[in-house]
């Protein structure tokens, strides 16, 4: 894996951690990273847990890409 690919993988892991963080913490910074607000019109607090599952999926994919 090249250096650029490793940087992208680490960035993906960091974004996955941020998505998990947004499902638990509500502030001005984390609201900008929420995926549910991009895909669900009128996203509410009930759609916030989708970020948890998306974060786990993003981290899992990036770890898989790093190992194989």
Note the pLDDT tens digit of each residue in 16-58: 999 999 999 999 999 999 999 999 999 999 999 999 999 999 9
Q: How far is CA 23 from CA 17, 55, 59, 64, 68, in A?
A: 10, 9, 15, 23, 29
CA distance linking residue 48 with residue 30, whole number of Å: 11
- What pLDDT sits at residue 1? 78
Residue 11 confidence (pLDDT) above 90:
yes
- CB atoms inside a 10 Å sphere around CB 15: 17
- What pLDDT sits at residue 16? 96
Total of domains in the chain: 1
- What pLDDT sits at residue 27? 92
- Print the domain residue range for 24: 3-67
* Residue among 18, 16, 7, 26 at smallest CA distance from 59: 16
- What pLDDT sits at residue 68? 86
């Amino acid at each position: 894996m090249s250096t650029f690919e490793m940087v992208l993988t680490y960035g993906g892991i960091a974004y996955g951690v941020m998505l998990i963080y947004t499902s638990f913490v509500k502030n001005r910074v984390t609201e900008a990273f929420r995926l549910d607000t991009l895909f669900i019109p009128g996203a509410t607090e009930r759609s916030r847990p989708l970020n948890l599952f998306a974060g786990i999926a993003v981290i899992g994919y990036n770890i898989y890409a790093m190992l194989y």
